């Protein structure tokens, strides 16, 4: 009898369910941007107020990731994921019932908390559902749901008619997670590694490690710091492009249709990159994958900075999505590999939270520089040194944990 067959089946089910949740998360993260013009007309919101509506959801992601990761190590990955999914589902529906600017901010902040808390648990569940040598592939397969979910949000926005149609996207973003909850309850298995670790701790009467020990003790301080630098630098550039790429296309004198094509190519590239680049880590090793990934990011930025036609902008958008979004899945896989099971949720959650700071800082810094007269092309080119710093930090993480040692901490 092949005892590994049920384990492989459970792993595939876990990754599939986590992919569905990531798809819904990507949809919800994109929903405010898609619905913004019609929401602004209905509630008579100024541009600055819409900026707050965008930012408050991102602000909720940061504490959500840190808290969700910490609770994962205490309560279990499955339980916290289900609570997170329920939270962002309920408050996405609540967004359809808002009556003014303040109620909109409250609903989006609470949605952000749920979305932020889900991601560390998705990463932990996928990385612990497969053998260590398949961990990066599993995390990448889950994370590809994010850009595809964002693309679905854009489609819903297009096919929803009239000014009232903006509510449709939030209904989908809320009902979808609530319908997923019974599937998670019935078919999602708690991480066997987490259960075994908790049993060992109980047998030896050991308390769960504190945050300081999880992140900074037992030789992890330098690794944690380098991981945070790589997350922050990469996500500053990623979210700068997510927010400003359409404006950059229009500033070149191209049409809104061409801008939409560039954005679509960015999302397609992101979905492909999340699967392919993370999977390469398991096949050719971490150092060549991370090196190639950051060289690809720098090349994509150079193409975007110099592009002048719709075709070259679309090609640059495809490359940027491929390597930046793919790079994010690689960093998630690295984070899940360098922390032992006992503190994996805390370590991954903290790294995700630091990355969420980049999602706030990137658009904010870019907006301020554009306001004083810098062009988007100059900002894209200026992002290349930041990517170089992030690359050095990620390679330091890899150097501290060669392939064998990554696997050693998996158990």
Q: What is the pLDDT of residues 274-321, one digit of tens each?
A: 889 988 988 888 899 999 999 999 999 999 888 888 889 899 999 999
CB atoms within 10 A of CB 406: 23
For residue 372, give the 3-state DSSP assignment. coil
Measure the CA–CA gap between 299 and 116, rounded to whole angstroms.
30
The residue ranking higher by pLDDT, 113 or 32, is 113
User: Cα 160 to chain center, whole Å?
Assistant: 26
Residue 191 · residue 77 · CB < 8 Å: yes
Per-residue pLDDT, 324: 92
pLDDT band at 41 (very low <50, low <70, confident <90, very high): confident
Q: What percent of the chain has pLDDT over 90?
A: 38
Residue 375: pLDDT above 90? no
For residue 340, give the 3-state DSSP assignment. coil
Instruction: Delimit the domains of the chain by residue range.
Output: 4-408
Structure tokens at 297: 């990011």
pLDDT band at 49 (very low <50, low <70, confident <90, very high): confident
Per-residue pLDDT, 65: 93
Average pLDDT, the chain: 85
Per-residue pLDDT, 378: 79
Q: What is the mean pLDDT of residues 222-237?
A: 92
Residue 407: pLDDT above 50? no
Lowest mean pLDDT among 18-22, 52-56, 114-118, 125-129: 52-56
User: SS3 helix, strand, coil % of the chain, rounded to 5?
Assistant: 85, 0, 15
Residue 340 · residue 65 · CB < 8 Å: no
Residue 170 · residue 157 · CB < 8 Å: no
Which residue, 154, 187, 162, is CA-closest to 28? 154
Per-residue pLDDT, 404: 43
CB atoms within 10 A of CB 306: 12
Tens digits of per-residue pLDDT, 173-204? 999 999 999 999 999 999 888 888 777 665 55
CA quadruple 396, 399, 404, 409: dihedral sign: negative
Measure the CA–CA gap between 345 and 189, rounded to whole angstroms.
16
- Tokens 């994509």 locate to 300
| Cα Rg of the chain (Å, integer) | 21
Residue 24 · residue 118 · CB < 8 Å: no
Structure tokens at 198: 């908790």
CATH topology of domain 4-408: Growth Hormone; Chain: A; (1.20.1250)
Residue 388: pLDDT above 60? yes
Residue 49 · residue 135 · CB < 8 Å: no
């Amino acid at each position: 009898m092949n005892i590994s067959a049920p384990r492989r089946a459970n792993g595939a089910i876990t990754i599939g369910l986590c992919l569905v949740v990531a798809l819904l998360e990507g949809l919800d993260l994109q929903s405010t941007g898609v619905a913004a013009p019609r929401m602004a007309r209905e509630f008579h919101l100024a541009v600055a107020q819409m900026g707050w509506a965008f930012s408050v959801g991102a602000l909720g992601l940061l504490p959500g990731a840190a808290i969700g990761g910490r609770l994962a190590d205490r309560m279990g990955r499955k339980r916290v994921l289900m609570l997170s999914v329920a939270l962002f589902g309920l408050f996405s529906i609540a967004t359809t019932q808002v009556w003014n600017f303040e109620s909109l901010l409250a609903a989006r902040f609470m949605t952000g908390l749920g979305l932020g808390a889900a991601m560390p648990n998705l990463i932990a569940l996928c990385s612990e559902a497969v053998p260590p040598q398949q961990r990066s592939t599993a995390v990448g397969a889950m994370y590809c749901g994010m850009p595809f979910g964002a693309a679905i949000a854009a489609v819903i926005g297009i096919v929803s008619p009239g000014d009232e149609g903006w509510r449709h996207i939030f209904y989908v973003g809320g009902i979808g997670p609530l319908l997923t909850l019974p599937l998670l309850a019935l078919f999602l298995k708690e991480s066997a590694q987490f259960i075994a670790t908790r049993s060992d701790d109980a047998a030896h009467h050991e308390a769960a490690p504190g945050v300081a020990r999880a992140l900074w003790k037992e030789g992890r301080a330098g690794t944690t710091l380098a991981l945070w630098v790589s997350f922050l630098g990469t996500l500053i550039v990623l979210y700068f492009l997510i927010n400003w790429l359409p404006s950059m296309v229009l500033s070149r004198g191209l049409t809104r249709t061409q801008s939409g094509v560039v954005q679509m190519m960015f999302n397609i590239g992101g979905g492909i990159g999340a699967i392919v680049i993370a999977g390469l880590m398991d096949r050719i090793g971490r150092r060549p994958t991370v090196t190639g990934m950051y060289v690809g990011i720098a090349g994509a930025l150079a193409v975007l900075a110099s592009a002048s036609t719709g075709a070259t902008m679309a090609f640059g958008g495809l490359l940027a999505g491929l390597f930046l979004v793919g790079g994010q899945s690689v960093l998630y896989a690295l984070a899940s590999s360098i922390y032992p099971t006992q503190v994996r949720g805390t370590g991954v959650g903290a790294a995700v939270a630091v990355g969420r700071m980049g999602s706030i800082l990137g658009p904010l810094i870019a907006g301020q520089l554009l306001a004083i007269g810098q062009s988007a092309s100059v900002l894209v080119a200026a992002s290349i040194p930041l990517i170089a710093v992030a690359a050095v930090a990620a390679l330091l993480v890899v150097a501290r944990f060669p392939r064998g040692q990554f696997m050693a901490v998996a158990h």
